[in-house]
């Protein structure tokens, strides 16, 4: 009776009255008064008549109100594809944006999409493609406005920040965020400091949940999403003397969780674990930055721990794709990358690599690492001054004599 008699007559009266204030009020009354099931069953005619309202009527506000109301609804398991509520609402949002003369303000566009995203996450949390669709659409629309380097209006920037933060708040399983490939696109439309803020929240949530990243694809997506934390701010002046890199307390606080993030990668199969660590290394060194210290050091120690596991597998007669020597060489490349930013850490890692190499029977590799360590020490801490017993420079002087 409601769908066949009541609603059609109400909608006809609303459209014909031509009074924008009355139209707005009555359409909102329909949303608030009748049960959710009625709205779902009659969504198509309601949305159709919303498009017939007078030009002055705020259809955007009505759609947001409707989506907020429908967010309390639970869809049936056998919902027909042609009656999918998200698809109907998404199409109406797009039509409303396109219909507005002169183009809808970006602020209003983002308000609509934030309501649509909240609806998708509240009603269809398992349909990750819905949330990803909203993210991709927002990234595209914001990109058009900021094309050519134009800055976002502050209210739009705040709303976009809220929008990209919604999945972090809504998903019970934080790893679901890793299945939103277009989320980083929307995040990239923010300023770098805001990107870092959101990425930091993601890292915090991942660590709080105690999750383990066991697949290369997961590691790749996670590190793609936290990339803002791994790159330098291009607006900041760089110190030409890379060997004197120092971080303020705020940067250390920001990057320390990223170092902890390197410890959540885990796979029982050593070759699979090597592929995960290689992916992490690729992201850590994608851009030359002193920030790589916070990723390369924990990665190097993770690799050294894995060397011992590989040795056990080899001793047990198992075949491995990545052997001890190959992984030690890989760690050596990491240490080389660290030298320009953290020479002291690189020195200690060289020595640690030598100890591990010796412990797994790679004597030649250990010898080579010791020689490299001594050469590096000579270059980094040059001295010809005789040192007293107990003075650290005595060791450096001895290394210098040995390498002449």
pLDDT for 157 equals 95
pLDDT at 197 (0 to 100): 95
Going by the DSSP 8-state scheme, the letter that residue 177 receives in this structure is: G
| pLDDT in the model for residue 354 | 87
Minimum mean pLDDT among 1-15, 19-33, 289-303: which range? Answer: 1-15
Residue 380 confidence (pLDDT): 67
Band of pLDDT at residue 150, cut at 50, 70 and 90? confident
Task: Give 14's pLDDT tier (boundaries 50, 70, 90).
Answer: very high
pLDDT, residue 366, reads 79
Mean pLDDT of the chain: 88
The CA-atom distances, in angstroms, between 313 and each of 142, 152, 263, 277, 303 are: 52, 55, 22, 18, 15
Most confident by average pLDDT, 82-86, 145-149, 378-382: 82-86
Looking at residue 172, what is its pLDDT? Answer: 86
Using the 8-state DSSP alphabet, how is residue 152 labeled?
Answer: P
Q: Return the pLDDT at 205.
A: 94
195 Cβ contact list (under 8 Å, min separation 6): 187, 188, 228
In DSSP terms, 376 is beta-bridged to none
Contact present, 175 and 211 (Cβ < 8 Å): yes
Find the mean pLDDT for residues 55-72: 94
- CA pair distance 55, 45, nearest whole angstrom: 19
- pLDDT number for residue 322: 95
Q: What is the pTM of this model?
A: 0.84
- Residue 102 gets the label, from left (phi > 0), alpha (psi -120 to 50) or beta, of left
- Condensed to tens digits (0 to 9), the pLDDT of residues 196-228 reads 999 999 999 999 999 999 999 999 999 999 999
- The more confidently predicted of residues 247 and 217 is 217
Above 80 in pLDDT, residue 238? Answer: no
pLDDT digits (tens, 9 = 90+) for 73-91: 999 988 888 889 999 999 9
Tell me what the mean pLDDT of segment 255-270 comes to.
93
Task: For residues 283-290, give the mean pLDDT.
Answer: 89
Q: How many CB atoms lie within 10 A of CB 147?
A: 8
Cα distance between residue 75 and residue 85, in whole Å: 9
pLDDT score of 375: 75
pLDDT beyond 50 at 70:
yes
CA–CA separation, 111 and 166 (whole Å):
13
Residue 369 has pLDDT above 90, yes or no: no
């Amino acid at each position: 009776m409601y769908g066949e008699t009541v609603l059609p007559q109400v909608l006809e009266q609303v459209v014909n009255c031509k009074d924008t204030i009355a139209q707005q009020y009555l359409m909102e009354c329909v949303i608030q008064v009748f049960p959710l099931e009625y709205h779902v069953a009659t969504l198509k005619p309601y949305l159709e008549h919303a498009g017939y309202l007078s030009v002055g009527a705020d259809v955007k506000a009505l759609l947001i109100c409707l989506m907020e109301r429908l967010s309390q609804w639970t869809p049936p398991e056998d919902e027909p594809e042609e009656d999918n509520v998200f698809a109907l609402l998404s199409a109406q949002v797009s039509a409303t944006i396109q219909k507005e003369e002169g183009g809808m303000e970006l602020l209003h566009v983002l308000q609509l999409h934030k309501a649509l995203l909240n609806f998708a996450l509240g009603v269809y949390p398992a349909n990750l493609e819905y949330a990803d669709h909203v993210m991709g659409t927002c990234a595209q629309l914001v990109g058009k406005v900021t094309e050519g380097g134009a800055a976002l209006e502050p209210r739009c920037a705040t709303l976009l920040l809220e929008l990209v933060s919604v999945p972090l708040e809504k998903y019970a399983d934080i790893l679901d965020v890793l299945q939103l490939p277009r989320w980083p696109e929307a995040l990239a439309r923010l300023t770098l400091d805001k990107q870092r803020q959101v990425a930091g929240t993601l890292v915090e949530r991942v660590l709080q949940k105690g999750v383990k990243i066991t697949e290369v694809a997961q590691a790749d997506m996670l590190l793609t999403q936290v990339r803002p934390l791994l790159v330098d701010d291009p607006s900041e002046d760089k110190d030409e003397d890379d060997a004197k890199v120092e971080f303020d307390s705020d940067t250390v606080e920001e990057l320390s969780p990223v170092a902890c993030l390197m410890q959540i990668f885990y796979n029982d199969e050593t070759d699979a674990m090597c592929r995960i660590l290689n992916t992490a290394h690729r992201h850590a060194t994608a851009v030359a930055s002193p920030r790589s210290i916070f990723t390369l050091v924990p990665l190097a120690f993770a690799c050294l721990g894995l060397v011992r596991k590989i040795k056990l597998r080899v001793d047990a007669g198992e075949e491995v794709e990545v052997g001890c020597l190959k992984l030690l060489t890989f760690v050596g490349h990491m240490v080389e990358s660290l030298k320009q930013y953290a020479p002291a850490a690189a020195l200690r890692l060289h020595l640690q690599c030598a100890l591990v190499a010796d412990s797994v029977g790679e004597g030649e590799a250990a010898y080579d690492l010791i020689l490299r360590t001594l050469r590096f020490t000579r270059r980094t801490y040059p001295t010809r001054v005789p040192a007293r017993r107990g003075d650290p420079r005595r060791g450096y002087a001895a290394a210098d004599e040995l390498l002449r």
